[in-house]
Structure 1
Amino acid sequence: MFCVVADHALQMSVIQNHLWLRAALDNATHGLVGLWSWAVVIGLRKKSDLYEVLLAGLLASIIDLDHFYMAGSLSLKAAVSLPQRPPLHCSSLIPVLCLSLRFLMWIGRLKDAWCSLPWMIFISMATHHVRDAVRHGLWLCPFGHTAPIPYWLYISTTATLPHLCSVLMYLTGTRDVISTKHGVAIDV
């Protein structure tokens, strides 16, 4: 529901006519979708979970900083009129980054405190990419771009992704570690 309302609000002429306002609200929407998605994944059981949820929202938002990097400028006009997509918008990067981070954590024997970080990055990046895919498609380098995805697919994917992530975390044992960290027992 939030995505539909936010996307309709972003289409209002008062917002469309102001580049900074449109960019700020679009980026805030990315952050809130990432924040909310991670909240669904972990559940808000303790006050400290709020920090994780806020981090997920921040991660979903900061992806757009690569527009300024590619533009080589802090000019918003330059950042939104790039001839090609910036590097953090490559959807192929998501599994590579998350699996590499998980591998590095395994090598470094980092467990409990950081076990959910690759999943958080996955949710933050995936929700951002899926939302952008309505306008631009997905960039699956080195294969190219997909056509823009239908709006219904964006909404259903955004609604389903946190639950799928939660199941995958359970299947990989990450959910057990998080539950132990939060003092919650899961019976199967």
Structure 2
Amino acid sequence: MFYVISLAKCIGVFDLTLIIGTILTAIIGDYLLKKFVRDLIRGIIDSTTHGIIGLLSWFIVTLHIRNRYSKYEIFCCGIFASLIDIDHFIKAKSFRLKHAMHLAEVRPFLHCSSIPVLLLIFSTLINYIFKSNKILRYGWLLWTAFMSHHIRDANRRGLWFYPFGSTPPLSSFSYICLILFLPYTNVYCLRFLLSSFGYEAKNYISPSPASDVCGIDIV
């Protein structure tokens, strides 16, 4: 209940713009995928949709966490979210789009959601040992890129957590809601971790008006 109340405080005008942009991107992307049948067009639409959603997701995070490299990281998150589908070509052992988009039932390795979970744990431990907040941020950036991609794909096949198996497929409404919760959950967790590691004294937690919109006070 506390989390829901805290999350509600995060919603400002700029946040609302990004939220609407994320929702529209997901809906339009899904609609266009149903509209076209050519593999090339579908591949471009799908990758672009993943990239924009990843970009907007990390944009929301940097809206609330001070970050000197925010623009760079925002675009990197979008690129990473889009490039995850490169494992289709690796799995197909072919550069032909037709082979990459029509794989057998076994999903390619970068679509395993256990990977971003391990990356997140690893980056947090490395940060704890070496006190490097960049490693922590990049770990969460990769987590956001992976999970925004995986959650959207879960609309068709569920989330795959090796070796435990897969969840049932998510409805369009469910996956869009999870994608919207993802960046705000990241903000909540990052503010807690950065505060715990003492980075607020170095202005890694933003005191600026942009982040003041988010009223989550973990310290």
Please indicate the TM-score interval, normalised by the length of the shorter structure: 0.7 to 0.9
Post-superposition shift, 1:174? 6.3
Query: Which of 2, 17, 22 is 2:42 aligned to?
Result: 22
TM-score after normalising by structure 2:
0.75
- AA in 1 matched with 2:111: H
Structure 1 residues 177 and 28: CA distance shift in structure 2, 3 A: farther
**Paired amino acid for 2:49:** T
Q: Verify the 8 A CA contact 1:34 1:124 in the aligned structure 2.
A: yes
Instruction: Indicate if the aligned counterparts of 2:194 and 2:204 stay in contact, CA closer than 8 A.
Output: no
1:11 to 31, 34, 40: 34
Between the aligned partners of 1:171 and 1:106, the Cα distance in structure 2 is: 13
In structure 2, the partner of 1:90 is 112
Aligned residue number for residue 55 of structure 2? 35
Contact 1:35 1:56 in 2 (8 A): yes
* Cα distance in 2 for residues equivalent to 1:70 and 1:104: 31
Which residues of 2 match residues 83-162 of structure 1 at below 5 A?
A: 83=104, 84-107=106-129, 109=130, 111-162=132-183
Distance in 2 (CA, whole Å) between partners of 1:181 and 1:57 is 22
Partner residue, 1:49? 70
Gaps of at least 5 residues in structure 2 are 1-22
CA distance in 1, matches of 2:114, 2:90: 19
Shift of 1:137: 1.0
Larger RCO (CA under 8 A, 6+ residues apart): 2
Question: Do residues 78 (structure 1) and 102 (structure 2) align?
Answer: no
Identical counterparts, % of pairs: 32
How far apart are residue 110 of structure 1 and its match? 5.3
SS at match of 2:170: coil
Q: Distance in 1 between matches of 2:93 and 2:122?
A: 28
Q: TM-score, normalised by structure 1?
A: 0.86
Instruction: Quote the Cα distance in structure 1 between the aligned partners of 2:30 and 2:107.
Output: 21
One-letter amino acid of the structure 2 residue matched with residue 89 of structure 1 = H
Instruction: Say whether the 8 Å CA contact 1:115–1:174 is kept in structure 2.
Output: no
How many residues align? The count is: 184
Q: Extract unaligned runs of 5+ from structure 1.
A: none
* Of 177, 180, 185, the match for 2:203: 180
The correspondence for 1:62, drawn from 80, 83, 93, is 83
Mapped contact 2:89–2:95 kept (Cα < 8 A): yes
